[in-house]
A and B are shown apart, each in its own frame.
Chain A
Amino acid sequence: MATRDITTIDGNEAAAHVAYRVSEVAAIYPITPSSPMGEWADDWAAHTRVNIWGQIPKIVEMQSEAGAIGTVHGALQAGALATTFTASQGLLLMIPNMYKIAGELTSFVMHVAARTVATHALSIFGDHSDVMACRQTGFAMLASNTVQEAHDGAAISLACSLRSRVPFLHFFDGFRTSHEVNRVELLTDDDLRSLIPQNLVDEHRNRALTPDHPILRGTAQNPDAFFQAREACNPFYDRLPRIVQEEMAKFAQLTGREYKPFEYYGDPAANRVIIVMGSGAQTVTETVKYLCARGEKIGALVVRLYRPFAADLFVAALPSTTRRIAVLDRTKEPGATGEPLYQDVITSLYQAHEAGALPTGDIPQVIGGRYGLSSKEFTPAMVKAVFDEISKPAGLKRFTVGIVDDVTHLSLPVDESFDIEAPATVRAVFFGLGADGTVGANKNSIKIIGDDTDMYAQGYFVYDSKKSGAMTISHLRFGKDPICAPYLIKRASFVACHQFQFLGQTDVLAYAQENAVFLLNAPYGKEEVWDRLPHDVQQTIIDKQLKVYTIDANSVAKAAGMGSRINTIMQTCFFAISGVLPRDAAIEAIKRAIKKTYGKRGEEVVRRNFEAVDKTLEHLHQLTVPAKATASPAKAIDEKSAALPDFVKRVTTVMMQGKGDLLPVSAFPVDGTWPTGTSKFEKRNIALEIPEWNPAICIQCNKCAFVCPHSAIRAKVHAPNTGATPPEGFQAVPYKAPDFKGLSYTLQVAPEDCTGCNLCIAVCPSKDKANPKNKAITMVPHLPILERERAKFKYFLDIPEVDRTRIARMDAKASQFLLPLFEFSGACGGCGETPYVKLLTQLFGDRLVIANATGCSSIYGGNLPTTPYTQNRDGRGPAWSNSLFEDNAEFGLGILLGLREHHAHATGLVRKLSARIGDNLVTGLLESEQHGEANIRNQRDRVLELRKLLRSVDSPDARLLDAIADYLVRKTVWLLGGDGWAYDIGYGGLDHVISLPYDVRILVLDTEVYSNTGGQASKSTPIGASAKYATAGKTTQKKDLGLIAMSYRNAYVASIAFGANDNHAVKAFLEAESFPGPSLIVAYSHCIAHGYDLKNGLEQQKLAVDSGVWPLYRYDPRLVGQGKPPLQIDSVGGKADVRQYLRNETRFAMVEKIDPKRFHDLSESSVQNTAERLALYQELAKIAFPVTHGGTNGNGKSVAVTETKGA
C-alpha cells in the first residue's frame, strides 16, 4: 500500500478530497461556506483527475440547491454514486428530496459545512441550525469535529451508507472546520477501495432504474398501504449504529485513527460530563484533559453519529459515576422544551432507566445550553464555566455561554483569564488588509511548516464585514504536538501589524503576551517609527516588554515591482524573527514555495518575489524601545462620538470597534430591525489618495459623482451665499448651465469615505489645457488634506439640496444634484453595481421600498455594523429588506400587494369621508397624476392638508385614515439582485412576477457571475468566460433575460450600462418607474470577478456596448399604442472588436492561457453570437404591432392611461 501523504489543508478540501474520489456525479451550487468543496471538485475535474474507478467524475452546476439535489436524486436512481455539497438555506432547499432519497433507501453521502439558517438576520457563519432542520428526513447524520475528521468522516459515511442503504448527511462546522487549515493525513485510493467494497457499489448499481431490468419507484400510495410501507424501513435504521461502529473499527485498523459513534474522554470515574458535537468537542475534550490533570473528576462525551441516535450506545459510553450532565447545542429552537441534542439525551436516559439499562443507576441531572451560534467563539474558559455551573448544587437548568444575556439572564459568567494552551506552541496573530496578501502568505507559511517539517500547524482567518478596505486577522499556531484548539488566539507570542493605520483603529497589541515579538510595517524610516506610534501603543510595548521590529514593506514592494502586495516581504520578516524555523532554511523554503506557487505565472513574477525576499532582510530593523512613552495621550472623550444618535453610540460604535462580542442581549433589536443611515458614522479612511477638485478646469458635468460607487463625491447647486461662513478652502463657482442661472456650483469629496478607486478620475472629461495630465479632479495624498476636506464636507452637507421640482430635465447630470440615499457602503472599491443603486435612491429614494435578493447587494446593503441606505432631511428614505436568495421576486411582489391594499384602504376612507374632506381635496388626492417630482410634492402637500382636516374629525375612520394617509403618495417597489438570483435560483419567481400585471420594478445588477460567493458561473456568464464551476471556459451562450421578458410583451425591459451611456441609464430608470406594469432593467455591472483593475471599468463598459456584446435597448409596450415598434435599440454594435473586449478581462484571457485553440473557438462563437443577437434585435426593432381598440400596454390597461395612480 502506498504511503499516505501528509498535507495542510482546510476542512472543505479535506472532505472534498474523499468525496470527489468516491463519486461519479456531483451536482453543485455555491453557498458559503461549502462552495469551496464544489470548487475543488470542479477544479479537479477540469484537470482530469480521476476517481478510484479511473473515471473523471461529472460535475454539474445547477440553478439552485433544489436543482442540485434533484439531479443527485436522479443520478442515484440511475445507479451512480453521487454527491453534493451545501449549507444553510441551501440544505433547507434540499429537504424535500432528502425525504425521497431516504425513503427509497438510497446509498448517498452529502457533505455539509454547517451554517446558521437565516432568521432575524442572515449569517454566513457556522452553527448546527441547518443540519438540525434535517434530522427528521431519514438521513443518517455524522458529525466530523476536526479537519482530519472531515476527511475521514467522508469516507466512513459512504462505507456505512453503502452497507446500510441509509443516506448520510456528513457535516462539520462551517468556517471553524471548513476553513481551518490544519495538518491532515490523506487516505490513499487503496484505502478508499478497501473501505468501499466493489460488491456494495455493484449492489447500489443493481438497484438502478434501467429498461434492461425495469422496475418502478415513486408510486402514490393510499391509506391501505402507505403506513405499513413506511414502517418497512425500520430494520435498516436499527442495524445502522452497529454498521457505523464496525466501519469505524475497520477504519481504525486501516489508518490507526479511532472513532466511535459516541466517544468518551476524561476521567473514567467522572461525576460531571459535558455532551457536545462538532468542532466544540475538541475544545471540550482538551479542557477536560487539562482539568483532569489538575484533579477534576470530569469528562466529555462526544457525539459523532447523531442520527439515528443510538440510545444504547450513548448510555453505554457514559461513566457509571456520572451525576450531572450539561448538553451543549449549537442551535436554537425557540419555544422548544430544549434544543435537539438535549432532548435526545433526556429521552435516551429516561428510556434506558425505564429498561433498567442505565449504567449510572439513577438518571443524572441534565441541563442544556446553547453556545457558538453563528461561529460565536467557544473557548476553554467557556467549557470551564459550564463545568462550574454543573458543579453548583442549584445551577441553571437552561443556559447560554459565550454571550451576556441581561434580558432572560441565561448566560454563564466566564473567567476570560482561563487558558489551557501549551506554552511551547508558537501563537502568531497577523493584521492585514484584504488586498495586501497577508492571508495568502500565512496560508503559505502554514504549508511550508506543515508540509516541510515535522511540526504541526494550524491557521484560521477572520475577515471583515466589508469588501473594500477590509481588515483580516490571521491566527496561526505551530508546535511539535497536534494543534487541537478550534478557537481564536488571545495571547500571542508573535503579533504582526501589516498596515500602520490599524494601530489607531484596533487594539492590535491586546493579542500580545509579555515579551512577545511585534512586527510592524510602517511607512517611516526606523528612526521615525517610534515617534509615529500612538501613545497607547508605545505604553503597551513598554509595559509588555515587547521586542519590536519594523520594515517599510510598501517601499520594498514597490522597488521590487510588486505594487501593494507585501505578502512575500512580511512572510520573510515573520520567518526571520519568529524563530519558528532556522532563518536560512526558512528563506530557502519561502523561495521554494514562490517557485512552486508562481512558477507557472512566469519568470518575471518569480524574479520579483525573489527580489522582494532578498531585499527584505536589509530593510528589517529592530527598534530600541525607550523607557517611557513619548507620544501625547489620546483625548479621553472623542468629541465626535458625543453627537451620535443614542443607538449608534451604544451599539453601532461598539461593533465598529470590533467589540460587538461584548454587547449584551439587551443592546439588540428583538426582531432584526435596524436603523438606516449609519454608514456615515463609520469614517473608515481607507483611501491612500482621494480626488481633489479644480473648479477652474471643471465643466460641471457631474459624471464623477454619477460613477462614484460610494457616494463619496457629490455635486450641489446652491445659493452663492449659503449663510454660514464657509470653512477654509471651500470652493463655489458660478454654475455654468442656464437651468439654475445665478446659482453656485460645488463639487465635494467625502474624504473619509472615499475608497480611492479612481473611477471618478477615469470618467472626468475635463483636462488642463496646459497640462492635460491634470483633470478637473486629481488624486492627491489623503492625509495632508484630510482635516481641510473633512470640514468642507461637513459644511457641504449642510447646504440644502436643489429643489427637486425645479429640475426641468432629469438626466445623468441633473440626477447628481439629488441627494443620494445610499452612501458609504462596504462594496468593493470601484464596484460596478452601486452606482445604479445610488441612482435609484436619488431618483425615487423618498418613496422607495427595496426587496433585495441575497448576494453582493444584500451584503453591501445590509451587512452590519452599519447601514448605507439613509434618509433625507424629512426623514424619508428607502425601506429595505432581504428575505432569501431564491424568493426575492415573490417577496417584493408581496410588499407591493401589501402597499396596494393600504393605498386602496386609504382611498376608500377618503371617499367615505369625502363630505368632511371636501370635493376638491378628494379629487386631488384620488385623481391627481403622481409621476414627476412636482406631482409627488403636490400629493404630499394634499396629504398634509388632509391630516390637518382630519384633526377636526372625530371618528374611528378619520383616525385610521390619518394613520395610513401616507400611502396615498405613490410608493415604488424595486426588486434588486444579481444575476445568480435573476437568471438562476430566483428565475422562476422573477418570471412569474413579470407575467403578472403589477408594477414591480426589477433591477438586475448583472455581473455575469456569482460575485458574492467568489465567482461561480451563472446562466448569465458569457460564452468563453472562465469562472469557477466553468474553469475551462463556459461553452454556452449567456441567457438572454431581457429577450425572455420581452416575450411577455406586457413588461418594460431595458438593457443599460452606465459606463457606456449614463443618460440612457437614467432614462431607463425613469421609464421603468413610470410604466404601468412590471418593468425589468438589466444593468451591466463590472466586477472584481472579471479580473482587471476596476478603474478601467467604464472603458470596458464602453467596449462591451461598442462591440455589441452588451447592446443598450429599451422595450416599452406603451409604444405599441402609438403605432411604433416597442423595441428601441440605443447602441450601435460593431464599433469595436469583440475579441478586444474579451482580451481585456482575465476571465476570458485565462482561457487563452489555458488553451489557445479553445479560446479561439469560443471567442469566434462569441463574435458570432453577438452578431446573431444584434441581428435579431434589429429585426425586432422594426416590428410595429398592429393596434386594435386603441391598444393596450399588455397589462389590460388602456394606453390612453399609461400611468397608474397610487401604489
Chain B
Amino acid sequence: MDLSTNYLSFELSSPMIPGACPLTGDLSAVRRLEDAGAPMIIMPSVFQEQLEREQVAFHQNLESGDDSYAESLSYLPRPEDFRLGPDEYLEQLARIKAAVRVPVAASLNGRTRGGWMDFARLLHTAGADALELNVYDTLIDPDRDAASVESEAIAMVGEVCRAVAIPVAVKLAPFYTNIQHFAMQLEKAGAKGLVLFNRFYQPDIDVENLEVTRSLELSTSAELLPRLRATAALYEHCAVDLAITGGVHTAIDVLKAVMVGASSVQMVSALLQLGPRYLTTLRDELARWLELHDYESLSQARGSMSLSRTPDPSAFERGNYARILQSWTRT
C-alpha cells in the first residue's frame, strides 16, 4: 500500500512523523525511529529564553563569590572552552543529521525577534532540513491586545522565512479568535506548513502545599477532535501543508487526520509509551485498513472529510454542540 505523502516539499514514505520529544533528541533513539520507519525527525524544541537564562545563570554562579575574600578570590575553575545550550543543540542536530537519511527538522521556541532570527540561522547552518517554529507565548502583559499578539507572531514568522532557505512550519496554539484568517496570514508571511496544535504542558496546583506543580500528561485520542475540526476547516482555505499533532495514537487516528486534510501527523505520547517500533505496527495497521477498504493509496483519502467535502458539514459547526449535549442527556 502506498502510504507516501508530501510534507514541506519532502517526499515522505508515510505520514507518521515522530514529533518533538526527548526521543528525537537522542541519537540512538533517532536511529531506532528511522529503522522503524520514521519518515522525518522533528527534534525537541530549543527555547530561546531557556538558553538565555542558562547562560546568565551559569555566568552568575561561576562568578558570584569572586574577589570577596583574600584567600578565595574565586571558587570554581574557569574553563576556556565549554559548550552553551545552543552549541549543544547544534552539535546534536549535526550528529543526528549525519546519522539518518530522512529529513531532520529543528524546532525552535523563540521570544524576541533577535532570538528567532539568530537561532533560526544557526539551525539552518547546522544542517536542519526544515524548521518548526513554536509561536506559543505566555501572555502576562495585560496591555497587549489580541491583534498585536497575532501581528507580532506573523511578523516574526515572516522574518524567519525570509532569513532561511529551508521550509518553515509554524506550530500553533489552539486559541485564536479566527484561526483561518491567522493561518492565511502566516501562509502569506512564508510559512510552508502549519502544525495543529501545540499541547501545553500546563502547570497544575498542589492544594496541600499551595504550590504550582509541573507534570507531563501524555495525550489520548480524545485530544484529536479539536485538531480534526480545525484541520478540516483550514484544508480548503490554505495552500500550506497541514500536520496534526496531539492525540494521534492509532492507525484510525492517522486515517482521520489524513481524511480531514493533514499531510502528516506528529506522534509523541504513543511512541513514548510503546517505543519506536510502534511506528512499524502502525504502518502495517494503516496499510491493512486501506487495503481492506479498497483504497489505492493513502492520498486517495486525503481531505475526504474536510469541511467542504464532508457529506455533513454541519457536524463541524456550532449547532453540533447542542446535539451532542442532547445525546448525552438522553443516555
Chain A positions within 8 Å of B, measured between CB atoms, are 32-33, 35-36, 39, 42-43, 46-47, 124-125, 175, 179, 434-435, 437-440, 461, 463-464, 466-467, 470, 472, 561, 563, 565, 598, 600-605, 608, 767, 769, 772, 828, 859, 1011-1015, 1026-1028, 1031, 1088-1089, 1091-1093, 1146-1147, 1149-1150, 1153-1154, 1156
* A1153 contact set on B, CB distance < 8 A: 58, 79, 82-84
- Check if A464 sits within 8 Å of B69, measured CB to CB: yes
A605 to chain B, nearest CB (A): 5
* A605 contact set on B, CB distance < 8 A: 55-56, 59
Cβ 8 A contact of B68, one of A434, A1015, A1093: A434
| Interface check B296, CB cutoff 8 A | no
Stretch at the interface among B70-78, B227-235, B308-316: B70-78
- Check if B210 sits within 8 Å of A769, measured CB to CB: yes
How far is B60's CA from A772's CA once the two chains are assembled, in angstroms? 29
* B152 contact set on A, CB distance < 8 A: none
Interface mask (B77-96 → A, CB under 8 Å = 1, otherwise 0): 11111111110100000000
Cβ 8 A contact of A434, one of B55, B61, B67, B78: B67
How far is B68's CA from A125's CA once the two chains are assembled, in angstroms? 16
Count the A-B residue pairs with Cβ separation under 8 angstroms: how many?
155
- Check if B67 sits within 8 Å of A32, measured CB to CB: no
With A463-B68, A602-B55, A604-B55 as given contacts, are A767 and B210 in contact (CB-CB < 8 Å)?
A: yes
Cβ 8 A contact of A561, one of B56, B64, B80: B56
With A1013-B72, A1028-B77 as given contacts, are A1156 and B55 in contact (CB-CB < 8 Å)?
A: no
| Interface check B22, CB cutoff 8 A | no
Cβ 8 A contact of B66, one of A32, A437, A602, A1026: A437
How far is B254's CA from A709's CA once the two chains are assembled, in angstroms? 59
Sampled A-B contacts (5; CB under 8 Å):
A434-B67, A464-B68, A600-B82, A604-B55, A1146-B76
Cβ 8 A contact of B75, one of A36, A463, A565, A1091: A1091
- Check if B55 sits within 8 Å of A1026, measured CB to CB: no
Smallest CB gap from A1014: residue in B: B72
Interface mask (B291-330 → A, CB under 8 Å = 1, otherwise 0): 0000000000000000000000000000000000000000
- Check if A1014 sits within 8 Å of B82, measured CB to CB: no
How far is B70's CA from A36's CA once the two chains are assembled, in angstroms? 12
* B204 contact set on A, CB distance < 8 A: none
- Check if B58 sits within 8 Å of A1146, measured CB to CB: yes
- Check if A604 sits within 8 Å of B79, measured CB to CB: no
How far is B71's CA from A1026's CA once the two chains are assembled, in angstroms? 19
A1063 to chain B, nearest CB (A): 20
How far is B82's CA from A1150's CA once the two chains are assembled, in angstroms? 8
How far is B84's CA from A608's CA once the two chains are assembled, in angstroms? 16
* B137 contact set on A, CB distance < 8 A: none
Of residues 32 through 59 on chain B, the ones whose CB sits less than 8 Å from some CB of chain A are 51-52, 54-56, 58-59
* B70 contact set on A, CB distance < 8 A: 32-33, 124-125, 175, 179, 463
- Check if A1150 sits within 8 Å of B64, measured CB to CB: no
How far is B70's CA from A1147's CA once the two chains are assembled, in angstroms? 21
Smallest CB gap from B83: residue in A: A1153
- Check if A601 sits within 8 Å of B55, measured CB to CB: yes
Cβ-closest 10 pairs across A and B: A434-B68, A602-B55, A439-B67, A1153-B82, A1014-B72, A772-B210, A1089-B75, A463-B70, A1031-B77, A1015-B75
How far is B73's CA from A466's CA once the two chains are assembled, in angstroms? 13
Interface mask (B201-212 → A, CB under 8 Å = 1, otherwise 0): 000000000110
- Check if A43 sits within 8 Å of B77, measured CB to CB: yes
How far is B85's CA from A33's CA once the two chains are assembled, in angstroms? 36
With A464-B69, A1150-B82 as given contacts, are A1093 and B58 in contact (CB-CB < 8 Å)?
A: no
- Check if B78 sits within 8 Å of A437, measured CB to CB: no
| Interface check B63, CB cutoff 8 A | yes
* B211 contact set on A, CB distance < 8 A: 772
Cβ 8 A contact of A440, one of B58, B66, B118: B66
Select the residue from A42, A603, A1031, A1147 with max chain B CB neighbours within 10 A: A603
How far is B71's CA from A33's CA once the two chains are assembled, in angstroms? 7
| Interface check B62, CB cutoff 8 A | yes
* B75 contact set on A, CB distance < 8 A: 1011, 1014-1015, 1088-1089, 1091
How far is B67's CA from A565's CA once the two chains are assembled, in angstroms? 12
- Check if A32 sits within 8 Å of B71, measured CB to CB: yes
Smallest CB gap from A434: residue in B: B68
How far is B66's CA from A439's CA once the two chains are assembled, in angstroms? 9
Cβ 8 A contact of B51, one of A604, A767, A1031: A604
How far is B251's CA from A303's CA once the two chains are assembled, in angstroms? 90
- Check if B81 sits within 8 Å of A1154, measured CB to CB: yes
Known contacts A565-B60, A1028-B77, A1150-B79; 14 further A-B pairs (Cβ under 8 A):
A39-B77, A47-B80, A179-B70, A435-B64, A437-B67, A440-B63, A561-B56, A602-B55, A602-B86, A604-B55, A859-B71, A1015-B72, A1091-B64, A1153-B84
- Check if B84 sits within 8 Å of A1150, measured CB to CB: no
* B71 contact set on A, CB distance < 8 A: 32-33, 35, 124, 859, 1012-1014
Smallest CB gap from B49: residue in A: A604
A1072 to chain B, nearest CB (A): 30
A677 to chain B, nearest CB (A): 23
How far is B86's CA from A464's CA once the two chains are assembled, in angstroms? 39
* B81 contact set on A, CB distance < 8 A: 47, 600, 1154
How far is B311's CA from A491's CA once the two chains are assembled, in angstroms? 93
Select the residue from A565, A602, A1011, A1026 with max chain B CB neighbours within 10 A: A602
How far is B65's CA from A653's CA once the two chains are assembled, in angstroms? 27
B95 to chain A, nearest CB (A): 11
Cβ 8 A contact of B52, one of A439, A604, A1013, A1150: A604
How far is B70's CA from A125's CA once the two chains are assembled, in angstroms? 9
* A561 contact set on B, CB distance < 8 A: 56
* A1011 contact set on B, CB distance < 8 A: 72, 75
Select the residue from B59, B63, B76 with max chain A CB neighbours within 10 A: B76
* B69 contact set on A, CB distance < 8 A: 434, 463-464, 466-467, 470
* A603 contact set on B, CB distance < 8 A: 55, 118
- Check if B61 sits within 8 Å of A1092, measured CB to CB: yes
Cβ 8 A contact of A602, one of B63, B73, B84: B84
Smallest CB gap from A432: residue in B: B67
How far is B71's CA from A804's CA once the two chains are assembled, in angstroms? 40
Of residues 188 through 229 on chain B, the ones whose CB sits less than 8 Å from some CB of chain A are 210-211
How far is B65's CA from A39's CA once the two chains are assembled, in angstroms? 17
How far is B210's CA from A772's CA once the two chains are assembled, in angstroms? 6
With A1014-B75, A1026-B77 as given contacts, are A1088 and B55 in contact (CB-CB < 8 Å)?
A: no
* B63 contact set on A, CB distance < 8 A: 437, 440, 565
With A601-B55, A605-B55, A605-B59 as given contacts, are A472 and B77 in contact (CB-CB < 8 Å)?
A: no
With A470-B68, A1014-B75, A1015-B74 as given contacts, are A1154 and B82 in contact (CB-CB < 8 Å)?
A: yes
- Check if A438 sits within 8 Å of B61, measured CB to CB: no
- Check if A1031 sits within 8 Å of B79, measured CB to CB: yes
* B67 contact set on A, CB distance < 8 A: 434, 437-440, 461, 463, 472
Smallest CB gap from A467: residue in B: B69
Smallest CB gap from B72: residue in A: A1014
Smallest CB gap from B74: residue in A: A1014
Smallest CB gap from A1146: residue in B: B61
A1037 to chain B, nearest CB (A): 20
- Check if B61 sits within 8 Å of A1091, measured CB to CB: yes
How far is B315's CA from A653's CA once the two chains are assembled, in angstroms? 86
* A466 contact set on B, CB distance < 8 A: 69
* A1150 contact set on B, CB distance < 8 A: 58, 62, 76-77, 79, 82
How far is B56's CA from A604's CA once the two chains are assembled, in angstroms? 7
How far is B76's CA from A1011's CA once the two chains are assembled, in angstroms? 10
How far is B82's CA from A828's CA once the two chains are assembled, in angstroms? 28
- Check if B74 sits within 8 Å of A1156, measured CB to CB: no
Smallest CB gap from A1028: residue in B: B77
Interface mask (B158-184 → A, CB under 8 Å = 1, otherwise 0): 000000000000000000000000000
Cβ 8 A contact of B58, one of A36, A859, A1027, A1149: A1149
* A1014 contact set on B, CB distance < 8 A: 71-75
B22 to chain A, nearest CB (A): 13
